[in-house]
Amino acid sequence: MAVLQWDQEVYMPAMGATLRAQQLATLSGMAHDLGVEKELGSLLEELSKSDSLNKIEKINVTETLRVYNDRKKYNTAFVIELSKTVSESFNAWQEAKRKKDFNLFLPFLSKLVDLKKKECDLLGYEEHPYDALLNQFEPGLKTKKVSAIFTQLHNQLIPVTKKIADASQPNTDFLHLHFDKNKQWDFSLILLKQLNYDFNKGRQDISTHPFTTGFNANDVRVTTRINENDLFEMIGSSIHECGHALYEQGLPVNDYGLPSGEFLSLAIHESQSRLWENKVGRSLSFWKCNFQTLKNTFPDQLKNISVQQFYAAINTVKPSFIRTNADELTYHLHIMIRFELERDLFEGKIDVADLKNEWNKKYNNYLGLKVEDDSQGILQDVHWSHGMFGYFPTYSLGSMYAAQFFEAAKNEIKNLEAEIESGSNLPLLNWLREKIHRHGKTFSADELCINITGSELNIDFFMNYIKEKYANLYSFNL
Amino acid sequence: MAVLQWDQEVYMPAMGATLRAQQLATLSGMAHDLGVEKELGSLLEELSKSDSLNKIEKINVTETLRVYNDRKKYNTAFVIELSKTVSESFNAWQEAKRKKDFNLFLPFLSKLVDLKKKECDLLGYEEHPYDALLNQFEPGLKTKKVSAIFTQLHNQLIPVTKKIADASQPNTDFLHLHFDKNKQWDFSLILLKQLNYDFNKGRQDISTHPFTTGFNANDVRVTTRINENDLFEMIGSSIHECGHALYEQGLPVNDYGLPSGEFLSLAIHESQSRLWENKVGRSLSFWKCNFQTLKNTFPDQLKNISVQQFYAAINTVKPSFIRTNADELTYHLHIMIRFELERDLFEGKIDVADLKNEWNKKYNNYLGLKVEDDSQGILQDVHWSHGMFGYFPTYSLGSMYAAQFFEAAKNEIKNLEAEIESGSNLPLLNWLREKIHRHGKTFSADELCINITGSELNIDFFMNYIKEKYANLYSFNL
């Protein structure tokens, strides 16, 4: 299914869409049927009582049984209704977005949310219905914990963004000159090689929305998107996807198909992409090493630009409407808004019909922006139309983990920043391989974080990094 | 599986091979299991007795039941042993070919032939064990019939090739200058468009061995191969694959998954590729229309070359060692040799250990060539290592059908050659769509041939075309 989906995004001819959707639906159905087979359950139950398993084998059995039991909670009628509603909602969302009219999407979203509420009940939860949805992407994560993190984050981020808004802004015009597609492509390959992406175990292609897909640790593919009028769009997204891919290329290939061969969770996955994108790809050290190559590629456009100016430009902070274009600071305000709306929706505090008003109010309060058209507002993301509620928080948690992991890496790798500045990114990759990648899904995210950093997830690491970096960049004190 | 195989040939990174093979093996197993399910058989039996089916529905049931019953003849142990032996043989063949030593392949081939003999018995046959193998690719075809056709062909082709050998040869040097890869690629796309290949329902990529694969009629992909020192290699293979693809793009997409939505047989498939490749792509009419575009693409290389010279060069006849590089005349001598060896092998007339000697003897007798190294001789084709015996004859039969169909087309389409000369290839395509493509697998090859041409397959059409064309090109009388 992953190969079929990759092909669909990257190379499939237009007319292939209808039957491809049918093929994927057939395969989904078969996968579900195989995944709930009685014999599988009995074998897993039996194995889970065995005394002769080693630690990893025990985890593999337990985790597989957990997934099996969750899958058993769904009845076929529900699966079919959900999948049908998702298809209709996705189509309605596309039309609504094109026509910039949330009302066209509203009845479908409403039906979808009702079904997802039913899904919360099917799956069960201890504290909050939204926990059940969060756990589809981040096993064990609680709504209460996310609320606490976002409250802290909110209180600390808002003053920083205010300070930045009052400071003078760096020049970013040169990033929006014309940058030839083919030359950008060549540079993206240089970046991937520089970051030790293994082309024997993967490849890069072009797609509308950049993504990474791992068929197994020996075939992990990335895509990028090239905007000829925005140089950093490709650079940022290439490094981001490379971070995802380095994680999957580092999973133990011999455990293919088992939890010990899988990525841990979406937040941990995102920690890897954000670490490379932001801690490395937006650092001065990295560009001290690579800016000359970029200048050689685009000598006219970057003629009078210093590496310091480039570094300042790619780190500009500016509230904007679209999440995917946001800087690494205001990005989390976008996520926060989505989380709060989802939480309140599944708590029953607000109704689907209130979503648009609430969305626009929060964009005004948190980002100081007046949303004027739904396609730039509540209709911007595809997630809800796919029935993916509980997904957004993992993006922010990924950044928090990234900051905490990178701090540990700096403590443990000698002269890490000097290494990066000299073009040597292997020490960092090897550290991540050792600490994170090779373990697959044999720890929880909490356990992993404690193992690596000595403490649970703590947003201070992220905030300290943000404050130091931006106080410096924008010359203010905190 | 087709998507996975396409990806494997075209884009898969090197290290992806091992697990891809495992994925394909798993899917094969599942497909076999689904294909022999008892319930499927009972439903088909029941349907086959129904009175309420229309003609096409009846054919769909009968043909699906035939395939079902054939599949039931295999037991799982045999399927597994065959598939294991094929894997080993393919590896052994690759090594043997690299080392140019048939003896390294011999024990594996021997085991494989024994298994294929068992397969003949499992499948059953009326006249000749080899019939069972032929029918896997060409339902209903008999060894006796192929022998008769090849005897006739042999008797008529040999004198023509002798005459040509004595005539003076056209200049072909200019085809072997340096032709830039990217420019060749662009020209291949022009060719596909010119021939009405629908890019909304397909795409072209590069692969080591050119092929066509249809996931369904709305997604039919071709590949080509570019040799910078042989211009016609790309041109010939692009037009050939385009012919295959036009057939599959013309199958009734609403019958996807049913025999009425499938191609008829390998020989009929090959008739479409050969018709476009040879009757169109090697005709003077076609190049009167397209040579100027080719000249514009390669002005230096083709500066002093006339369309007549080009036409003569791409139709040169010259015995050579490698089947896939052969001209449209000696090609059939290569096929004949393979057929005779396969037939005699399964009849028990010769042994696997005799193959190499027999091969070399026949190459000397039929083509006047002394084979000096196994990789240029008996190890050149992949087919046997894949266990594909009975496949080769369909290549020649395809050419015979192509000649006979094209003669009918010329009779029925007003000024066909003038149309082609004016760049209008749609009348021919529409005729093929109407007569062949839209019918899927609802006729036998014999029925189809009679419907279209009024008679069974008759090699006179091919021989007349060959004699007229080459007597003209080489200025001799027959």
Rounded to 5 degrees, φ, ψ at B219 are: -150, 85
Chain-chain contact of A15 with B200 (C-beta, under 8 angstroms): yes
pLDDT of residue A477 exceeding 90? no
- Give the closest-approach CA distance of A397 to chain B in angstroms: 32
Residue A126 CB burial class (10 angstroms; 0-12, 13-18, ≥19):
exposed
pLDDT of residue A250 exceeding 90? yes
Q: What is the pLDDT of residue A165?
A: 86
Helix (H, G, I), strand (E, B) or coil at B142: coil
Residue A33 CB burial class (10 angstroms; 0-12, 13-18, ≥19):
exposed
Q: Which residue of B has its CA nearest to A24?
A: B3
In 3D, which of B141, B407, B433 has the Cα closest to residue B267?
Answer: B141
Which three-class secondary structure string do you get for B74-94?
A: CCHHHHHHHHHHHHHHHHHHH
| Mean pLDDT score, A151-177 | 94
Chain-chain contact of B200 with A14 (C-beta, under 8 angstroms): yes
**Pairing label, strands B204-206, A204-206:** unpaired
**Pairing label, strands A219-224, A204-206:** parallel
Task: Using the structure block, give the residue that is written with the tokens 């009918």.
Answer: B408
Is residue B417 among the annotated active site residues? no
pLDDT of residue B112 exceeding 90? yes
Chain-chain contact of B219 with A4 (C-beta, under 8 angstroms): no
Do A441 and A63 meet the contact criterion of CB atoms below 8 Å apart?
yes
pLDDT band for B452, please (50, 70, 90 cuts): very high
In 3D, which of B339, B290, B327, B274 has the Cα closest to residue B137?
Answer: B339
Q: H-helix or E-strand containing A407?
A: helix A392-412
Q: What is the pLDDT of residue B337?
A: 98
Fold designation for A100-478: Neurolysin; domain 3 (1.10.1370)
Distances (CA, A) of B470 to A28, A462, B287, B458: 57, 79, 17, 20
**Percent of chain B beyond pLDDT 70?**
100
What is this structure's pTM?
0.92
Helices marked H in B38-75 — which ranges? Answer: 38-48, 55-72
Do the interacting molecules here have an ipTM over 0.85?
yes
pLDDT of residue B102 exceeding 80? yes
Task: Identify the contact set of chain A against chain B, taking CB-CB distances under 8 A.
Answer: 3-4, 7, 11-16, 18-20, 23, 30, 198-203, 205, 215-216, 218-219, 221, 253, 256
Please tell me what DSSP assigns to residue A213. Answer: E
- Give the closest-approach CA distance of B11 to chain A in angstroms: 8
Q: Which residue of A has its CA nearest to B256?
A: A19
Contacts of A201 in chain B (CB under 8 A): 13, 15-16
Contacts of A12 in chain B (CB under 8 A): 219
- Give the closest-approach CA distance of A24 to chain B in angstroms: 12
- Give the closest-approach CA distance of A207 to chain B in angstroms: 15
Task: Using the structure block, give the residue that is written with the tokens 């197994």.
Answer: A216
Q: What is the pLDDT of residue B52?
A: 95
Distances (CA, A) of A210 to A223, A239, B69: 5, 11, 47
Distances (CA, A) of A346 to A104, A126, A138: 22, 14, 17
Nearest to B13 among A4, A14, A203 (CB): A203
Strand partners, B212: B222
For residues B113 and B99, give the distance between their C-alpha atoms in angstroms, rounded to a whole number.
22
Buried b (16+ CB within 10 A) or exposed e, B421-446: beebbebbbebbbebbbebbbbbbbe
- What would the pLDDT profile of B377-391 be if each residue is shown by its tens digit? 999 999 999 999 999
- What would the pLDDT profile of B388-403 be if each residue is shown by its tens digit? 999 999 999 999 999 9
- What would the pLDDT profile of A16-44 be if each residue is shown by its tens digit? 988 998 888 888 888 989 999 999 999 99
Task: Using the structure block, give the residue that is written with the tokens 């400071």.
Answer: A167
For residues A158 and A329, give the distance between their C-alpha atoms in angstroms, rounded to a whole number.
10
Contacts of B12 in chain A (CB under 8 A): 219
**Helix, strand and coil percent figures for chain A, each rounded to 5:** 70, 5, 30
Do A306 and A460 meet the contact criterion of CB atoms below 8 Å apart?
no
Chain-chain contact of B219 with A18 (C-beta, under 8 angstroms): no
Query: Which amino acid makes up residue B123?
Result: L
**Percent of chain A beyond pLDDT 90?**
91
Helix (H, G, I), strand (E, B) or coil at B263: coil
For residues A1 and B71, give the distance between their C-alpha atoms in angstroms, rounded to a whole number.
26
Residue A234 CB burial class (10 angstroms; 0-12, 13-18, ≥19):
buried
Query: Which amino acid makes up residue B125?
Result: Y
Q: What is the pLDDT of residue B261?
A: 98
For residues B256 and B42, give the distance between their C-alpha atoms in angstroms, rounded to a whole number.
22
| Mean pLDDT score, A257-268 | 97
Q: What angle do CA A268, A113, A1 make, to 5 degrees?
A: 50
Q: Which of B119, B138, B233, B241 is catalytic?
A: B241
**Domain boundary assignment for chain B:** 154-328+393-473
Buried b (16+ CB within 10 A) or exposed e, A339-352: bbbbbbbbeeebeb
Q: What angle do CA A75, A77, A78 make, to 5 degrees?
A: 70
Q: What is the pLDDT of residue A222?
A: 98
Q: Which residue of A has its CA nearest to B205?
A: A11
- DSSP secondary structure of A218-261: TEEEEEE---TT-HHHHHHHHHHHHHHHHHHHTS-GGGTTSGGG
Query: Which amino acid makes up residue A266?
Result: L
Chain-chain contact of B19 with A200 (C-beta, under 8 angstroms): no
In 3D, which of B332, B297, B307 has the Cα closest to residue B184?
Answer: B297
Fold designation for B154-328+393-473: Neurolysin; domain 3 (1.10.1370)
In 3D, which of B382, B347, B409, B11 has the Cα closest to residue A11?
Answer: B11
Q: What angle do CA A198, A202, A205 make, to 5 degrees?
A: 120
Q: What is the pLDDT of residue B168?
A: 92
Nearest to B215 among A14, A16, A200 (CB): A16
Which position has the higher pLDDT, A77 or A110? A110
Nearest to B16 among A30, A205, A218 (CB): A218
Task: Using the structure block, give the residue that is written with the tokens 């690759």.
Answer: B94
Chain-chain contact of A202 with B13 (C-beta, under 8 angstroms): yes
Tokens of B385: 């290592």
Strands across the sheet containing A204-206 = A204-206, A219-224, A212-216
Query: Which amino acid makes up residue A115?
Result: L
Chain-chain contact of A20 with B219 (C-beta, under 8 angstroms): yes
Q: H-helix or E-strand containing A214?
A: strand A212-216
Do B339 and B291 meet the contact criterion of CB atoms below 8 Å apart?
no
Report chain B's mean pLDDT, rounded to a whole number.
96
Tokens of B343: 């037939």
**Which of A219, A220, A221, A222 has the most B C-beta neighbours within 10 Å, making it the best mutation to test the interface with B?**
A219
Task: Using the structure block, give the residue that is written with the tokens 């056209």.
Answer: B170
Contacts of B3 in chain A (CB under 8 A): 3-4, 7
Q: Which residue of A has its CA nearest to B14?
A: A200
Query: Which amino acid makes up residue B108?
Result: F
- What would the pLDDT profile of A338-394 be if each residue is shown by its tens digit? 999 999 999 999 999 999 999 999 999 999 999 999 999 999 999 999 999 999 999
Report chain A's mean pLDDT, rounded to a whole number.
96
Helices marked H in B348-381 — which ranges? Answer: 355-367
In 3D, which of A304, A283, A163 has the Cα closest to residue A235?
Answer: A283
Contacts of A18 in chain B (CB under 8 A): 218
Contacts of B218 in chain A (CB under 8 A): 13, 15-16, 18-19
